[in-house]
Amino acid sequence: MAGRRMIPLLVLAAAFLAAAAAGAGSNSKSSVVFELIHWERPTWTELARNDRERMAFISSRGRRRAAETGTARARARAKPSKAAPASEAFAMPLSSGAYTGTGQYFVRFRVGTPAQPFLLVADTGSDLTWVKCLRPAAADEPAFEAGYGYGAPAPGVSSPLPAPSSSSPPPHGRVFRPDDSRTWAPIPCSSETCTASLPFSLAACPTPGSPCAYDYRYKDGSAARGTVGTDSATIALSGTGRGAAAAAASSRRQQRRAKLRGVVLGCTTSYNGDSFVASDGVLSLGYSNLSFASRAAGRFGGRFSYCLVDHLAPRNATSYLTFGPNPALAPAARTACAGTPAAVPGARQTPLLLDHRLRPFYAVTVNGISVDGELLKIPRLVWDIEKGGGTILDSGTSLTVLASPAYRVVVAALSKKLAGLPRVTMDPFEYCYNWTSPSTGEDLAVPVPDLALHLAGSARLQPPAKSYVIDAAPGVKCIGVQEGEWPGVSVIGNILQQEHLWEFDIKNRRLRFMRSRCTQ
C-alpha cells in the first residue's frame, strides 16, 4: 500500500462511483468526515526502506505513464451522479498507523449491504479501492498468472517480476464477503470498464460474462489478485459548521446515513507481501476517474480534505478525511467583490497540477526552498515536470524525498546551521546529531533553522521543525529528508504534511493548506 509495509497495495486503488445519497433528508448543512487513525512507533530504518520501495513504484509508474500516447488514454464512462447541495459533505475518522509499525494513515470504511466495516490505508497514490475478500472462485474466472499492475515495470522498460507465491486472507481476519452483500455486482471482463479503464486488469477473458480479474504487482515483490465489482458504501452525513468533534459525536449517534452506490471495488482473494498485514485494504484517494476520491469529490462539491495528526501522537488521536466543504476552511464572510469568498486567516493556496504523467498523484509547482529566509540555489529543472522532475504530495510516503540535486543543497544548508552539534551515525539518515547536554542530560537549547517550501501563487509551506529535524532516538535528532533519484520526482511525505489541513479542490484545480493541530 502506499509506502511502508502497506505500501504498494494502496497503489491499486479502484474507484468509487459517488451516486445517489439515500436518505438525504432535511438539514442541508451536512458533511462527510472520515476519521484518521494513529498507533505504535515504527523504526526509521523500516520507514525509509518502505519509502524506497514506494519511490521505486512511483518511478516505474511515471515511466509507464510517459510511454502511453495521449490519445490512447481511456476514460471511465460512469453515469454522473446527482451532486449534493453545495453545503453538504461527509467525514471519516482518520488516524496514524504507527502502532502497527507502518508510516501510513488509516481510515474506517463501510461497504456492502448490509454494511461491513473495514480499516483501510488512505492513499493519495492509489486509484483502486480494494478490500481483502473471501469467496469461492468461479469456474469461468481467469487464472492469476502473468499480469502486472502500476507497480510493475512498463512494457519495454525492464523485465517483468517473477510470479509471486500466493496466500489467502486468514479466516479470522476482517474480510469482505461479496455473496453476503445484496448490492455487490461483478464487472464483466468484456466491459469497457475492465478493458479500457482498469490498466491493472488481466487480458484473459474466458467468456464475456466472466468477472474482470486483476493481478497487481509491486516493486518489492508483493502482489494482490482478485476480481473487480461495484457495491455501495455507507457514509454518515454531519453538519459542516460544527467542527470535527461535533461531527464525531453526530456520527456516533448515527443521525443521517447515505449510500454511495456504484463504488468500484477490488475483491482481493489472494495476496502476498508484508504490505497487506496491518490493514484490510486500500482507500483510493488518487486522481483518477475510478478512484474513491474523484467520485466522492464529484458528488460533494469537487473537493476533499484531510488533516494528519502528528505521526507519533497517542493511539487514540484522530482527525478526519472530509469530502465536501470543510468548516475550518469555510470563510465567515464574503467580500463585496462579486461574492468572492473572504480569505481564511492562515490559509495558503497554490495551483493543483493534475498532469497525466504523474497520475494518480497530485502535483504542485515548487519555485524554491529557503533555509532561515535564504533562498537556496537549486536547479529549476528539478521542479519541472517537462524536464523529468516535479513535486507530488503523497500520503503513502513517510519521509520527504528530494531529487538528488535539491537534496544535496538542502541538507548542506541545514547541516551548516547545525555544525556546532556533535555528529552521530544512525541509519538510514545521513545527518544526525547528539542533542543532549553532557552536563545536564537535557536537550540542548539549539535553535532549528527555519525551512520553507515556496510554491506557485506566493504560497509558502513552513512546517514545524519536528517535521524535518526529527527525533530519531533519545537525545538524537536527524535531518529527516531522503535523497531521491535524478531525473525523478520529489515527494512531500506525510511527516512533512503533518499538523496541516490540506484541501484538494479537484474541480477548481487548487490546493489549500493551513497549520492545524488536527484535533478539536
pLDDT tens profile 195-226: 988 878 898 899 999 999 988 765 555 677 89
Per annotation, catalytic residue among 51, 123, 310, 505: 123
Residue 283 has pLDDT above 80, yes or no: yes
515 close to 346: Cβ distance less than 8 angstroms: yes
Residue 394 annotated among the catalytic residues of the structure: yes
More confident residue, 13 or 358: 358
Q: H helices of 146-253, where?
A: 192, 243-252
pLDDT at 463: 96
Residue 427 has pLDDT above 80, yes or no: yes
pLDDT at 444: 83
Rg (CA), the chain: 22
Pairing of strands 319-323, 303-307: antiparallel
Please give the Cα distance from 445 to 131 (Å, whole number): 48
Residue 157 has pLDDT above 50, yes or no: no
For 116, list phi and psi in degrees, rounded to 5.
-115, 130
Cα-based torsion angle of the residue sequence 178, 179, 185, 186 in order, rounded to the nearest 10 degrees:
80
pLDDT tens profile 98-125: 777 677 889 989 999 999 999 998 999 8
159 close to 43: Cβ distance less than 8 angstroms: no
182 close to 259: Cβ distance less than 8 angstroms: no
CB atoms within 10 A of CB 483: 16
DSSP string, 12-75: T---------TT--S----BEEEEEE--SPPPHHHHHHHHHHHHHHHHHHHHHHHHS-GGG---
Q: Specify the DSSP element, H or E, that contains 414.
A: helix 404-417
501 close to 518: Cβ distance less than 8 angstroms: yes
Q: Calculate the average pLDDT of the chain.
A: 77
Q: Give me the amino acid identity at 418.
A: L
User: Across the strands, what pairs with 484?
Assistant: 403
More confident residue, 125 or 453: 453
Pairing of strands 90-96, 105-111: antiparallel
461 close to 455: Cβ distance less than 8 angstroms: yes
pLDDT tens profile 409-424: 999 999 999 998 999 9
* For the chain, percent of residues with pLDDT exceeding 70: 68
pTM of the complete model: 0.80
pLDDT at 362: 97
For 406, list phi and psi in degrees, rounded to 5.
-75, -40
Please give the Cα distance from 158 to 342 (Å, whole number): 51
Per annotation, catalytic residue among 127, 231, 394, 505: 394
Residue 167 has pLDDT above 70, yes or no: no
pLDDT tens profile 293-320: 988 998 888 999 999 998 877 667 788 8
Closest by alpha carbon to 516, among 248, 236, 252, 327? 327
Grid cell 486509484 — which residue? 127
CB atoms within 10 A of CB 454: 18
Q: Which residues contact 66 (CB under 8 A, 6 or more apart)?
A: 357
Residue 406 has pLDDT above 60, yes or no: yes
3 close to 54: Cβ distance less than 8 angstroms: yes
pLDDT at 225: 87
pLDDT at 334: 42
Residue 123 annotated among the catalytic residues of the structure: yes
pLDDT at 479: 97
CB atoms within 10 A of CB 398: 31
Residue 262 has pLDDT above 60, yes or no: yes
CB atoms within 10 A of CB 291: 28
pLDDT tens profile 22-59: 333 334 344 455 555 443 456 767 666 666 666 665 66
Closest by alpha carbon to 22, among 161, 160, 115? 115
User: Across the strands, what pairs with 198?
Assistant: none
More confident residue, 12 or 60: 60
Confidence of residue 350 (pLDDT cuts 50, 70, 90): very high
Range in 31-40, 227-236, 449-458 the model is least confident about: 31-40
Confidence of residue 274 (pLDDT cuts 50, 70, 90): low
Q: CA geometry: angle at 504 spanning 59 and 304, to 5°?
A: 115
- Domains of the chain and any CATH numbers: 43-67+348-519 (2.40.70.10), 87-135+173-324 (2.40.70.10)
pLDDT at 60: 54
pLDDT at 66: 43
Please give the Cα distance from 131 to 144 (Å, whole number): 18
Please give the Cα distance from 479 to 467 (Å, whole number): 9
pLDDT at 25: 38
| Grid coordinates of 29 | 448543512
- Mean pLDDT, rounded, for 326-352: 68
Range in 213-217, 244-248, 364-368, 470-474 the model is least confident about: 244-248
Please give the Cα distance from 145 to 158 (Å, whole number): 18
Pairing of strands 303-307, 32-37: unpaired
Closest by alpha carbon to 149, among 285, 5, 268? 268
Please give the Cα distance from 196 to 178 (Å, whole number): 24
User: Across the strands, what pairs with 186?
Assistant: 229
Please give the Cα distance from 281 to 117 (Å, whole number): 11
